[in-house]
Amino acid sequence: MKQPIDNIWIGQKDLEQDIDFLKEATQEVSPSALTTGEMTEHLSGNRRDFLKFLGFGLGAATVAAGCDIPVKRAIPYVVKPEEIVPGVANYYASTFVNGGDYCSILVKTREGRPIKIEGNDLSPVTRGGTSARAQAAVLSLYDTHRISGPKLKSDKGWNDTSWEDLDKMVMTTIQSSSNIRIISNTNMSPSSNKSLADFTAKYPNAKVVTYDPVSYSAVLEANSLNFGKKALPSYHFDKANVIVSFNADFLGTWISPIEFAGDYIKNRKIDDVTKAKMSRHIQVESHMSLTGSNADNRILVKPSEQGVAIAALYNSIVGGSMSTSGLNDKAKKSLTKIAEELKAAQGAALVVSSSNVVAEQLMVNAINNALGSYGSTINMGVTSQQAQGNDADFAALVSEMKSGSVDMVIIMNANPVYDAPMASAFTEAFGKVKNKLSFNTTVDETTDKCDIIAPNHHFLESWGDVEVKQGYYTLIQPTIAPLFNTRQAELSLLKWAESASVDFVNPQPYYEYVKNNWKNTVFANQNAVSSFTTFWDSCVHDGVFNTGSVSSASFTSVNIPADYTKPSGKELEISFYETVQLGNGQYAGNPWLMEMPDPVNRTNWGNYLAVPVNFDGVSKMVGFQNLKDGELVELSIGDSKYTVPVIQQFGQMPGTVAIALGYGRTHAGITGQNVGINVNNDLTYVNGYRQNYSSNVAVSTKIGKEKDFSCVQYHHTIGVKAVDTESGKEINADEAALVFFDYFTGAKGFQGALTDRSVVYTAHVNDLKNSIEGLTKKRKHAQHLNEQQIYAGFDHNYKLGHHWGMHVDLNACIGCGACTVACMAENNVPVVGKHEVAIHHEMAWLRIDRYYYGDIESPNTIYQPMMCQHCDNAPCENVCPVNASNHSSEGLNQMAYNRCIGTRYCANNCPYKVRRFNWLDYTTADIFPGNQPKLADENIPFGADNLTRMVLNPDVTVRSRGVIEKCSFCVQRIQEGKLAAKVEGRELMDADVKTACQTSCPTGAITFGDMNNKKDMLSSKLESPLNYIALEEINVRSSVTYTMKVNNRDSALDA
Amino acid sequence: MYKRNIKSQTSSTMMYKHLKFSLYLAIFSLITISSARAQVSPDAGKELFKSYCAACHAKDMRSAATGPALGGSQQRWGDDAALYAWIRNSQALIADGHPRAVELWNQYKPTVMTAFPNLTDDEIGSMMAYINGVYDGTYGAAPVAAGEEAKGPVEKKSNLPMYVIIAVILAALALLLTKIILNLRHIVAAKEGEDYEKKTLWQIMSSKGVVTFLIFSAVILGSYTTVNNATNLGRQEGYAPDQPIKFSHETHAGLHKIDCQYCHDSARKSKHSSIPGANTCMNCHKAIKVGSKYGTAEITKIFASIGYDPTTNLYVENYESKTEEEIKAIYTKWMGDQYKVSKELADLDKEGVKLVEKQWKDIVKSLTNEQKKNIQGPIEWTRIHNLPDHVYFNHAQHVTVGKVECQTCHGPVETMEVLAQASPLSMGWCINCHRQTEVKFLDNPYYADYARYHEELASGKRSKVTVADIGGLECQKCHY
């Protein structure tokens, strides 16, 4: 039953007024976290213990004070490289690439070590945007689990060997092999592909087999049938006024999310309210994906109904009588209506689908053709290389290996034992191969089963190139000398192929190889530059080069087979989805990504079974089988049984559940292994194409409770309403601490805390005028309060010099989380682990709050990046007993770590709940260098080893235990920008200061700047009537401005 | 290992010292002014020597460097006029055929002594006075330089004796008063007819009052010392550790007037001033291969670090892969040759072998340590100016934007033979400077944002804008 409400809610606990949740919302620290678990044991003790500790502490301090100051060394260069100035960062253009994941980047290096990834503005594909995965890539360079050099397997494990010995051995093996297979994920590098071609030319019995952890085989096949090109087209979401996506998560994981997000948002931002226009986005899916959560309308269909849903649209648009039996009525009705809208938007419509069934993709192509999308919103003339995997080739390889005809397999950037289609069948067949060699950089599931490791460089140590789309080239250049005794995989292949075109004596043979390849291909195909040296230098400098080549493509109609998926008719179905953080497990070893909460369900450190949640029509939310968040169930898919925790998911279609891929890895370092469950084996097959769902599923009732439920959705909540049990009045749970107590009568209650809090505002694009009026009225009232100041006379100061401020466009924010990882990287924010997250101890300075609004069964979503608001009337400052938190004349809420004594009064008094306390020594910053635990023997916190510490930003203090920290508006960047202006003797400009979150954003949702500078980009953004300040009525005078969230929901589809 | 130098001073003693210091200074300056300015003075000679001679002549006046030892030269020449003429233009004198001049020329050619035609007789006289003074040991023994010497004794003089005297007087007074009180009590008791029992010393000492007093004073004193020492923890003003190379800032920055930022070039563009790489040293030391102060051994350390063979004047090929023995062969040969030249020997004598061996050992010791086993590679200096990790300091801000002289914080580096930390580098010290220092406000268009200050400056309402006025005292200017 549908229950439209105007309310905005956080989750079902909020709607249900869950007692425990309200209790938590009233306090800065979760009470449950303090009363149970290991913490209490540490905290117990009596007066005598206290005296003992005091005595010991004093004694230890005395001894420590008597020690000599350690001698510190200052080590200069022997021959200082001209380009390095110690203390000044250098940026190098490069490319982040992993399979089909792509981002053109700038790598920030300090004293020769890469410490941060920024987007490359010059790239026409990613346009300076990044993703969480790209941001986190720098950490994987310093992974302690990277393989240190060439290794051979023996009975006792891995033995080190030398490259010479390995080469000799591999050469003998190759020469005696009759069938060699190279297994790789999508490879977009022209030079790498050339080296593979060189290898297969030398050894004709070698063949490259490509597959992808998430398959795009059917799209490729359909395009091959319709266009004669086995490739993906370029999609232009910016040119589409109506977008229909069948389960394609194009903002999060599908093909090229950074590019698509940037395009998509151009039609979603509202720059001029008088001419407000917005595209309409309709998502057809069962599980709430990141893209679905950003959609205006969602049409719920079961995973097995996707085929008939596409067929229904096909029938309405192209015309035809494809069978649609089994499609639910509501979806059928909605799709018919959408078909009209799509037709009306002829030439500006776009239909995409993630389906892996050829017939379905053929229908989608036919629909797009009928809508005139080709040539407008889809460009088949510039093909994308971002998915090349072929399910059929891979299946053939498995049977080949099974028959024993393959002597040697070379694994090149792939982990098929974990993520291949039919992983268990593959593993079994793989065991029959005599010689198995891996180029992978860590001992993952596949490498573990190999006999030889010839470890590749990390991409930040390598030369290379990428052709992401036809004619769109980027270069990869090394930003650090190889940390380990590794070798470029392509170079290994060339060496074994005894390539004559490579000078192996050259110190950088692969560099020469790439350069020569460019000279013969990219350079030869352009006319703009005549000198190759000039051409090459500018390519290395910019990182990008576009030839602008376009090939012709015309649509050929083909008969659509009737073998598309038909509804299973089963009561329960499960879908498997790739996450923004981990993909299909490729990034599971990366702690930043592991700790990044999933944008939609906001869980981290594990995959949770998303179960639907219904409204009973009165006051209660009814969970699927009465299951609640964090309860364990037994999940049976086919013959496999798993124990998983559940999470109640709004917008999850009744009769369906969903679980993320990419977890449950067995070989992924201390971070990734044995976190969550691996369901790759349960993926089904239709006609040899891998399907991300199963109809053979059962979920038990509650069988237990998860020990550490790491979901951050109910942590640090703001604006939660509750009903006071004593008085029956509605109050604000945040301020339950403001209890009223009368000593004479003994009466208790809440002091009239304001309830109608401005946290987020929503509007419909057609009703914008009224919504703005309402907002203006509300703000006027709040601003009346704002005339009062607790620090009188300071306005005078803020007008002088700079006054820093930020604008966050909630219409542009898609919740992808790139900013949260960028913030961790920039500000040395520690990773705390599952247990600590479960007890509200996550340290992220920037979180993305998720709110639902509208239809309770299929709600719309708001993502609100929430960080320190740098209030000019900051309530945290005046409660600090030691003045560790105070205000600067530039409007910054300053946190002096060294003054902080950890009373946490500030965190308790912060209305936005953005202050984080170092409960434990997460970084080992407290430990004397001599006492640091040894790597092998003791567990040290993540990131405290010397290798991982290389990623730290040397301009930001590493915080120790017992101090509060929070967003500083990237003060180190502010100071750097100011200094640059001063040194050059000019006024500060927009581009001088950009925060880490701002530069990472693929959609430009965040703008930072000087509010006093009227020429600033920020100032123009601050003029929008959609702007509001969160919690403006409490008169804290925050420096962060948000915009009202506007949607373009078609209420006719809700009926 | 360097031991912390903990000082505890109360503000009153500081003030007292300050007063006293000013007094001394006043007296000494009076003396300096009143004393007739001598035409020929060894002090003036010292300055002249530093600027004109020290590049080629050894400072100790006894050993030969590029030029001969100057000690006793007046005696050797025997004729002041000829000597003066030689100093002003040696080549002219050689051409005239002065026997001593020809003798020296034969000995040192083709090295030509720089001509100093502008030197007056008085100036040369001063230099000779200084040279003779150093040579016979009379210079420096008597208190000469008033200004320099004045600081020393004043600062080191302790106020302890005065405190001891006061303490003794007070203690005696207290004792006397106690005695009187006791006696009076005794008398009263006797008068009243009460039985007065005289307490033993032990009873008095172990009485509640005394014990409480002692504990109380111990706690107060203890806390006071703890707080004082804690404040000074990590501060190391005056820290002057031994460095791997006896690098003399006095010679480089003082005598040769090399600009600080020639070597510390990143100070103008980076947060670090950074220690120059060995390749920067080589810009000059390719030509200057023997030091004026320490001879061959110290400069050879640079050669051994970077792999330069001073005998052939070429960089050694594949230096990284050379063994210690091979490296030793290169540099002991060089040092041996230099020894032979200085001693005018054809072969190394026993002493020479020993000296070279000793110098080599010193080179190895200086260029290697527990972590760094090879002689090749960077010279690991001991860092003197250490700021805590939570302090952000940017040289470019101060040097380029603020136009602050290096000496403001680093002290008179150009006079330091061994570099020492001149300032406490404490937060109070930073803050004080930020309060007093004027911002280069009108010169830099960056500050146009501070419109109100510009108006106030124009209208005369404000005389200057200090760093503190534009937020230079705020936490997050230095801590983030």
User: Is A975 close to B3, i.e. CB distance below 8 A?
Assistant: no
CB-based contact (8 Å) between A957 and chain B? Answer: yes
| Contact status, residue A723 vs residue A13, Cβ threshold 8 Å | no
What are the two backbone dihedrals, phi and then psi, of residue A863, each rounded to the nearest 5 degrees? -105, 125
> In B, which residues are within 8 Å of A971 by CB distance?
476, 480
| Contact status, residue A883 vs residue A39, Cβ threshold 8 Å | no
Task: Find tokens 């302090």 and name the residue.
Answer: B391
Instruction: With a cut of 70, say whether residue B37 has pLDDT above it.
Output: no
Which residue in the set B271, B446, B476 is minimally distant from A894, CB to CB? B476
Specify the pLDDT at position B32.
39
Nearest alpha carbon to residue A296 among A268, A256, A337: A268
With vertex at residue A122, the alpha carbon angle to CA A118 and CA A127, rounded to the nearest 5 degrees, is 65
Taking CA–CA distances from A80, the nearest residue in chain B reads B277
Cα(A684)–Cα(A215) distance, integer angstroms: 12
CB-based contact (8 Å) between B283 and chain A? Answer: no
User: Is A801 close to B381, i.e. CB distance below 8 A?
Assistant: no
pLDDT < 70: residue spans in chain A:
1-6, 26-45, 63-69, 616-620, 724-727, 734-755, 926-941, 1055
CB-based contact (8 Å) between B452 and chain A? Answer: yes
> In B, which residues are within 8 Å of A996 by CB distance?
none
| Contact status, residue A397 vs residue A416, Cβ threshold 8 Å | no
Task: Find tokens 């009973």 and name the residue.
Answer: A616
> In B, which residues are within 8 Å of A74 by CB distance?
275, 380-383
> In A, which residues are within 8 Å of B241 by CB distance?
71
Cα(A922)–Cα(B456) distance, integer angstroms: 49
CB-based contact (8 Å) between A1014 and chain B? Answer: no
Kindly list the structural domains of chain B, giving each domain's residue range(s) and its CATH number in brackets, ordered by start. Answer: 42-151 (1.10.760.10), 426-480 (no CATH)
Instruction: With a cut of 60, say whether residue B153 has pLDDT above it.
Output: no
Chain A, chain B: beta-carbon pairs less than 8 Å apart? 164
Beta bridge partners of A352: A245
Condensed to tens digits (0 to 9), the pLDDT of residues A659-696 reads 999 999 999 988 888 899 999 988 888 888 989 999 99
Which residue in the set B278, B389, B445 is minimally distant from A987, CB to CB? B445
CB-based contact (8 Å) between A898 and chain B? Answer: yes
Structure tokens that stand for A409 in this block: 């397999």
> In B, which residues are within 8 Å of A799 by CB distance?
452
CB-based contact (8 Å) between A1015 and chain B? Answer: no
Beta bridge partners of A863: A850
User: Is B241 close to A982, i.e. CB distance below 8 A?
Assistant: no
Question: How far are the Cα atoms of A356, A597, A843 from residue A959, in angstroms, in the given order?
Answer: 48, 22, 11
Taking CA–CA distances from A886, the nearest residue in chain B reads B475
DSSP at B60 = T
ipTM value for the complex? 0.87
Specify the pLDDT at position A954.
93
User: Is A65 close to B2, i.e. CB distance below 8 A?
Assistant: no
| Contact status, residue B370 vs residue A61, Cβ threshold 8 Å | no
B126 compared with A447, residue with greater pLDDT:
A447
User: Is A981 close to B446, i.e. CB distance below 8 A?
Assistant: yes
Specify the pLDDT at position A2.
45
What are the two backbone dihedrals, phi and then psi, of residue A280, each rounded to the nearest 5 degrees? -105, 130
Nearest alpha carbon to residue A803 among A867, A875, A871: A871
Specify the pLDDT at position A908.
87
> In B, which residues are within 8 Å of A802 by CB distance?
449
Taking CA–CA distances from A974, the nearest residue in chain B reads B477
Which residue in the set A68, A80, A971 is minimally distant from B480, CB to CB? A971
Kindly list the structural domains of chain A, giving each domain's residue range(s) and its CATH number in brackets, ordered by start. Answer: 1-44+720-750 (no CATH), 151-214+390-546 (3.40.50.740), 231-380 (3.40.228.10), 573-703 (2.40.40.20), 757-1047 (3.30.70.20)
| Contact status, residue A621 vs residue A11, Cβ threshold 8 Å | no
User: Is A957 close to B390, i.e. CB distance below 8 A?
Assistant: yes
CB-based contact (8 Å) between A882 and chain B? Answer: no
Instruction: Name which of B126-130, B298-302, B351-355 the model is least confident about.
Output: B126-130
Cα(A203)–Cα(A766) distance, integer angstroms: 65
Nearest alpha carbon to residue A565 among A334, A361, A423: A361
CB-based contact (8 Å) between B3 and chain A? Answer: yes
CB-based contact (8 Å) between B238 and chain A? Answer: no
Taking CA–CA distances from B397, the nearest residue in chain A reads A979
> In A, which residues are within 8 Å of B234 by CB distance?
69
Nearest alpha carbon to residue B115 among B131, B101, B97, B132: B101
Cα(B62)–Cα(B56) distance, integer angstroms: 13
Taking CA–CA distances from A65, the nearest residue in chain B reads B233
Specify the pLDDT at position A963.
94
Residues 364-423 of B with CB under 8 A from A: 376-383, 386, 388-390, 392, 394, 396-397, 400-401
DSSP at A957 = P
DSSP at A128 = T
B63 compared with A171, residue with greater pLDDT:
A171
Question: How far are the Cα atoms of A464, A506, A526, A544, A547 from residue A532, in angstroms, in the given order?
Answer: 18, 20, 11, 15, 15
Could you write out the DSSP letters of every residue in A895-926? E-TTT-----HHHHH-TT---EE--S-TT-TT
Which residue in the set A68, A73, A80 is minimally distant from B1, CB to CB? A68
> How far, in whole angstroms, is CA A739 from its chain's centroid?
41
Hey, of B446, B455, B457, B478, which one would you mutate to test binding to chain A, going by the most A CBs within 10 A of its CB? Answer: B446
Contacts of A107 (CB under 8 A, 6+ apart): A91, A92, A93, A94, A114, A116, A117, A118, A138, A460, A479
Condensed to tens digits (0 to 9), the pLDDT of residues B72-98 reads 888 888 788 888 888 888 877 887 888
Instruction: With a cut of 60, say whether residue B13 has pLDDT above it.
Output: no
Cα(A175)–Cα(A203) distance, integer angstroms: 8
Q: Cα distance from B86 to chain A (closest Cα, Å)? A: 42
Q: Cα distance from B446 to chain A (closest Cα, Å)? A: 4
Cα(B397)–Cα(B439) distance, integer angstroms: 11
Condensed to tens digits (0 to 9), the pLDDT of residues B310-329 reads 999 999 999 999 999 999 99
Within 10 angstroms of residue B333's Cβ, the number of other Cβ atoms is 14
| Contact status, residue A962 vs residue A920, Cβ threshold 8 Å | no
Taking CA–CA distances from A981, the nearest residue in chain B reads B446
Specify the pLDDT at position A701.
92
Which residue type does A441 have?
Answer: T
Cα(B101)–Cα(B86) distance, integer angstroms: 7
Q: pTM for this one?
A: 0.84
Q: Cα distance from B366 to chain A (closest Cα, Å)? A: 13
Nearest alpha carbon to residue B300 among B323, B319, B327: B327
Q: Within a 13 Å sphere around the CA of B89, how many CA atoms are in the beta-carbon half?
A: 7
Task: Find tokens 């682990």 and name the residue.
Answer: A833
DSSP at B199 = P
Within 10 angstroms of residue A393's Cβ, the number of other Cβ atoms is 15
User: Is A972 close to B480, i.e. CB distance below 8 A?
Assistant: yes
> In B, which residues are within 8 Å of A892 by CB distance?
476
What are the two backbone dihedrals, phi and then psi, of residue A550, each rounded to the nearest 5 degrees? -130, 135
User: Is B476 close to A971, i.e. CB distance below 8 A?
Assistant: yes
Q: Is A947 helix (H, G, I), strand (E, B) or coil?
A: coil
Structure tokens that stand for A579 in this block: 């996450």
Residues 248-277 of B with CB under 8 A from A: 266, 269-272, 274-277
Specify the pLDDT at position B84.
85
Hey, of B379, B449, B455, B467, which one would you mutate to test binding to chain A, going by the most A CBs within 10 A of its CB? Answer: B449
User: Is A800 close to B450, i.e. CB distance below 8 A?
Assistant: yes
What are the two backbone dihedrals, phi and then psi, of residue B150, each rounded to the nearest 5 degrees? -55, -40
Within 10 angstroms of residue A65's Cβ, the number of other Cβ atoms is 13
